Structure 1
């Protein structure tokens, strides 16, 4: 009965509630301080990268975005980890030194089973510091193609052009095709019917090509006519190439196709359509050949 009374006095006494209030205040102060340090630190990092042009070290905008986000994430992880240690030590009374020592031994044991995690982290550092790709780049890797949204310590987030977000472990990024580093090359094959003159068709396309750089900023230089690429059944193919801004090679190809179609149609050259020649089984070869010659004469006249 005495033990129950002592327990009741302890629960209703001021000492317990003062201890709880003190611990609660410490928790609030540590969390608020950590959030304040993270917020101020992020603002400082933002200003440092904003004023980079004044210093001796200058980096590209794409690399700046990647490094800035990485530094801010590292600051956040470090501050909150320190806050957790302070809570365990000052509020809950854990022996942090012994806890960290035990965690080190446990971490060594866990590390053998977390080789993929270690590989992802190491690969993430190599991706960032070797500048393999940066935030905003359009890349193709691990059977995924899209724009890089975020490069983290462990994963990379890529958004495809249809809106899906793909999260790829950095260790799986073994081969990368980066479309955002250099200018692209738009390659367009134009079908022209055999009835049209090659020289006249090339001259029309060349006149149209000279106007494109002034009309479309995606096209960097004047498109170049390579010449006749192939000879098909009902038409020949003229290939045109054009240098474009990075990632705009597909848009440049669509622009060239649209402009070529309109210009050729305006000049009386129609895009050839598939042709199908039919003949009766009862017709003799001589009759078929004579009919073909007559058709060719009509087309010539």
Structure 2
């Protein structure tokens, strides 16, 4: 059986659509919706709507725990209540394209046993293939460089320019293509030991048996997958990217409902990312036995 964990926040129609698409997939499955304390009450609406459906469970988080803690709540529930071979964690703005998606996950595992798996993720917003994010994991130096760069981008003028860039599909597509070409990322090729995109990530039973809460809980949002890659690398776990399975990603749905202003949305992203980078730095320092500078 395959379990699907959907993190819900505000955007109820998107969650409903996501659920219906999963229900149409081949194979036995169970859907866990984690409402991240939506202030518009949509979590309780979903709980009422699906209360008679045995294959759907709605969990109401008492506070908005962000990406890591919200998803960990759903994954932990699956590990405690179901015997799932795989757990697919996906944003509610992700559309699974293939009807045999869950079946294909099992076939990939038979040929290439993995702990964490990522599909090809195509952004509907920009037309860019978002996974892998990077062919190499983070280091202490790369985390510190990124922190300095992100901190600099919080300058009001740079923030305005960055906000406009990210709100234009054409401009953002050029930026992303340039960055991915620089890293020589080819999304059409399978790879291991890469940083996956977090909008859709798959955990195998063998990994969750030892890590029922796989996401690092000291982050609220962003940089979770870089930290996950670090944790897997530290323990010798296998992260695999496989383009034979694919999804579509409709970006920014929840954040657009929370922040109507592009600049405010960009500021929120920067603040969260800086906090996550600090958490990553502390983790790496702790693992390496170094003291924070």
Which structure would you say has the larger Rg? 1
Using CA pairs under 8 Å that are at least 6 residues apart, name the structure with larger relative contact order, 1 or 2: 2
Q: Same fold (TM over 0.5)?
A: no
Give the TM interval when normalised to the shorter protein: under 0.3
Question: Normalising by the residue count of structure 1, what TM-score does the alignment of the two structures yield?
Answer: 0.21
